[in-house]
Structure 1
């Protein structure tokens, strides 16, 4: 209802039989009110508002009846209050998509029905009471667990090949969450002293499971049924073999869960589950996925197979060994990508996007979900686009809420993406690569995302914007600045002034690793960003 203003706790406290208070999906902002005055409260639902700031450590003192606490998708910061963790009857805790930091407190309860701390800034050890939680509860966190291990680690692919299927624990190249890993874990970093296993945004970690997919009928082999292979250059396996294969949880996002599975002959694949992919009928879905399966380009991750079910769909892709671009820019695996590597990635992304534009001239959004977490890197850091061509199949409301293209100005304001909308996403990606800064509130969902992204783009105009990890030791600063201009041209708020996809690709191809000799003398110790006055 877009409610805002002040929540009058004193008036509410006079309602002696008040059990539950919910203002989900409104516009309340500021510090959390003093709900502990409502001692009889059993349910508190504040998700999807604009609450911000820290929560006092004693904020939940005395609320011994409280069972359900939903604070997700706000802007809370600071530590998770210990008084929340000590509530004796707590069953549901949902704090995802905030800015909580510090350590996770030891929760008195361990048998939660709902528990989600994902997409915060938490770090430190996982408390023992939470050691058996679903890995998705800790997606996109920076967590550690100390344990003894060898200083030198085997290659993850070799580790997979050397283990029997019954006990395999694949080292993840892109795990958003995998906190159930124990002694079977293949560690992902090599250090000489005390061992620390790092679980970060798509950092390396591992857990073994089976695909927890319920009520899937036998789809048969690749030749028939509802499980279909779309490529002839991959070994065929049937659905039941896939469902029984050892699988590693890579993450859980707005579309569903992602798994890494070892199938026949040591082939490693990625399986993505979708529960909001019912826009197309069965025959239309088959035709669309077969069309997607025919795509062949060095910078597009190939679709191998798909499963069609009434309630959920599976898409099976090749596995990219080096994880996602987001994990290298913002996660613990950040190795400081240099300028030549970033230029290679930008050019590869642009070429892959241009290929999709050519293959789908009938569609406004040939990709639709282009962002750094959907750009994977192979062992040579060659970029591979993934999660493309989902818009035709994803439920419209879900696409509008979560997909990158729908955070563009024209899509968010007028519900009308254009053939330049994917170019806008490309521009955001270029700026993210050049600055090393995560787009402000890009993970936030809803109607305000595009305005917040506009603010982020404009903020780049102030200060030394280029990522120091990229600039160091390079004489290509003029070329970096040229690429920055291209990125800004792709991000034009006015769609009419924005670069077209073929213009953007052509300009990107002209950017070089090093400046021309006549450019080197000019220097860029303080970046000349006067061009922003022309583009903003």
Structure 2
């Protein structure tokens, strides 16, 4: 018996010692990050993660995607890296200073990670992946410090977890672009300022606590109702009794009889009108209450706008909302009085040129595919676009809001669009742009696009409709981007049918657009500039639904990189073939169907800026980088989205 007791005491002491040893053994931050990395796949972008090198040196990281604060890891920013596999929450939970995570624009699949294990997080961004399945109701219980949760554009389903409504510090929540169903739980947080439930399968009444949000936050959920959307149907009305119906019918008959009697009496007192008693215009209302669409309809049909009798403008002018202070103010009547012409009619509406009597020439674009957006949201988005300022982005001057249509006013640029320069000059007896001009246009467009990415970080596709007809050239052939940033305010059904972003390979394959969708559009535009081929012609010529301009270029250069692919009308190409070939290969990488193989916008601009007007040597076959080398040098994306530097 004594021996048994002694053995038991030994076992107890051994257990205590082992527990103490386990407690004392703490993995370092580099070891924990390597452990986390080992759970991932396709980690080429993390090649400089080395346990022998400290992950942080003060506030400066030694490893890619690591954010440091006083020598500790406080955040991971691993975006646009093509990462797959599992997220090791256990390893991350031991990083005591970790406060923010961003794994956006990767290829993670399966259930959402167990975020409860990371209770100290202040923000995490998992948008634009392939996470799927239902999220448990208690998935976020205990995350008392969390402020920002971004889960947009995944494949998550089932009800929205009720624990989201219990997070006291939550300020941002984006769940749009998933497959959530059921009712929206109640949210009581007063600091909740950025919320998006759009593009799901939600239904029922919107909680009163969310009724002050914009309607766009709930769009594309056909069964949702209540403020800020349409009111929910009321309870069925009780059937009226027979006696009530009879009494109501008698009252209606009596009322109708009284109305008829009054009309007869008034008609007898009224003097028969004499021809020429008053001008015909006197019958019209004195205030200009009719919408400008009526005058614009007349203008579009080639008729003069109706300006009232004797050409006088209305007393009650329709006011435009101005976005710039350096342009003289005018109103709708000034536009309608201006010398005007229809410049063109596109998929979204018509474009007019209006030369004001006192002031510059303006361009008015009329949009009829934005009637799902509310007035407050539209005003806010236009003001956001109005703050943009870049040499390669056409500034907006003013706008006008009506439920049925919108007007956007910008300054008139004397030259024509890039589409006309490339494809319409022959019919006008003009020469096509030479290589030097085309390279200048490519560099200007790419810099303008990079500016949009940096200035509109919350938009997945900051331009969304980049094509040659939306690039205007000024008198110096400097390109100006137009029709940018409209993706959030165009009706989704029309956007999917007509906007370039929704023609991208990723939308055709996966039904989504990404941060590299505009990059794909830029690649197609460069191919159009180099080949002189109009992109949409391939589909129109019936060559098959999978045939597009990048596919055609690949077919031409499949066996040999040949200058035969370039536009034969392009002048000034002597001793430039090597640089032209470099740009062609850049364009093909930007047009890669696989998003992982496509450069981000920052690297695309850097590579384009390296292109010169002339070859360094005459033998261009030795002067351009091979396609394989260019692919292997694909860098990391610097287009991160609002991961807070202070948590």
Cross-structure match for 2:387? 294
Q: Report what 2:75 is aligned to.
A: none
Which residue in 2 is equivalent to 1:511? 611
Deviations 1:117-174 (Å, cap 9, x if unpaired)? Answer: xxxxxxxxxxxxxxxxxxxxxxxxxxxxxxxxxxxxxxxxxxxxxxxxxxxxxxxxxx
Residue aligned with 1:295, SS: coil
Cα distance, 1:425 vs. partner?
0.2
Hey, what's the Cα distance between the residues in 2 that align with 1:209 and 1:486?
48
What is the aligned partner in structure 1 of residue 465 from structure 2? 369
* Range 454-463 or range 284-293, more displaced: 454-463
Answer whether contact 1:348 1:383 (CA < 8 A) is retained: yes
The within-5 A match list for 1:467-482 is 467-470=567-570, 472-482=572-582
Secondary structure of 1:381 counterpart: coil
Q: 2:261 matched to which residue of 1? A: none
After superposition, residues 28-427 of structure 1 pair within 5 angstroms as 210=304, 227-331=320-424, 332-333=427-428, 334-427=430-523
Measure how far apart 1:243 and its partner are: 2.2
1:523–1:402 Cα change, 3 Å: same
How many angstroms apart in 2 are the aligned matches of 1:230 and 1:269? 14
Alignment gaps of 5+ in structure 2: 1-298, 308-312, 632-647
Structure 1 residue 520 corresponds to structure 2 residue 613: no
Q: Give the Cα separation in 1 of the matches to 2:538 and 2:395.
A: 26
Instruction: State TM-score, norm by structure 1.
Output: 0.55
Contiguous gaps of at least 5 residues in structure 1: 1-180, 182-205
8 Å CA contact retained: 1:268, 1:319: yes
Alignment partners' CA distance in 1, 2:463 and 2:393: 11
- What are the Cα deviations for residues 258-306 of structure 1, in whole angstroms up to 9, with x where unaligned? 1111113241111111111123210010010011111110000111110
Distance 2:455 2:478 in 1: 21
| Distance in structure 1 (CA, Å) of the matches to 2:464 and 2:575 | 35
3-state SS, counterpart of residue 366 of structure 2: strand
- Cα distance in 2 between the residues matched to 1:437 and 1:532: 26
Structure with the bigger percentage of helix? 2
Distance in 2 separating the partners of 1:359 and 1:330: 32
Q: CA deviation at 1:529?
A: 11
1:339 and 1:474 in contact (8 A); partners too: no
Secondary structure of the residue aligned to 1:270 is: strand
User: Does the 8 Å contact 1:254/1:402 carry over to 2?
Assistant: yes
Cα distance in structure 2, aligned partners of 1:490 and 1:227: 40
Q: 1:449 to 1:304 in 2, by over 3 A?
A: farther
Change in Cα spacing, 1:325 to 1:212, as seen in structure 2 (3 Å) is farther
Equivalent pair of 2:539/2:547 in contact (CA under 8 Å): no
Return the alpha-carbon distance in structure 2 between the equivalents of residues 451 and 414 of structure 1. 18
Query: 1:253 and 1:290, CA in 2 relative to 1: closer, same or farther beyond 3 A?
Result: same
Q: In the aligned structure 2, how far is the partner of 1:269 from the partner of 1:443? A: 35
Q: Give 3-state SS (helix, strand or coil) of 1:273's partner.
A: strand
Q: C-alpha separation between the residues in 1 aligned to 2:314 and 2:485?
A: 26
Offset, 1:393: 0.7
User: 1: distance between equivalents of 2:435 and 2:498?
Assistant: 31
After superposition, the Cα gap between the structure-2 partners of 1:522 and 1:421, relative to the gap in structure 1 and judged at 3 Å, is closer
**CA separation in 1, counterparts of 2:605 and 2:305?**
40
Q: CA RMSD in A?
A: 3.3
Structure 2 Cα separation of the partners of residues 219 and 352 of structure 1: 42
Conserved? CA contact 1:486–1:507, under 8 Å: yes
Q: CA deviation at 1:451?
A: 5.0
Indicate if the aligned counterparts of 1:376 and 1:384 stay in contact, CA closer than 8 A: yes
Residue equivalent to 1:430:
526
CA gap 1:318/1:212 in 2 versus in 1, 3 angstroms = farther
Q: Are the equivalent residues in 1 in contact too, given 2:501–2:518 (CA < 8 A)?
A: yes
Secondary structure of the equivalent of 1:373?
helix
Q: May I ask how many residue pairs the two structures share in their alignment?
A: 320
Deviations 1:209-235 (A, max 9, x none): 55699xxx98977xxx75211011111
Q: Secondary structure at the match of 1:480?
A: helix
The partner residue of 1:488 within 569, 584, 588 is 588
How big is the shift at 1:439?
Answer: 1.2
Could you tell me whether the CA contact under 8 Å between 1:220 and 1:239 is conserved in 2? no
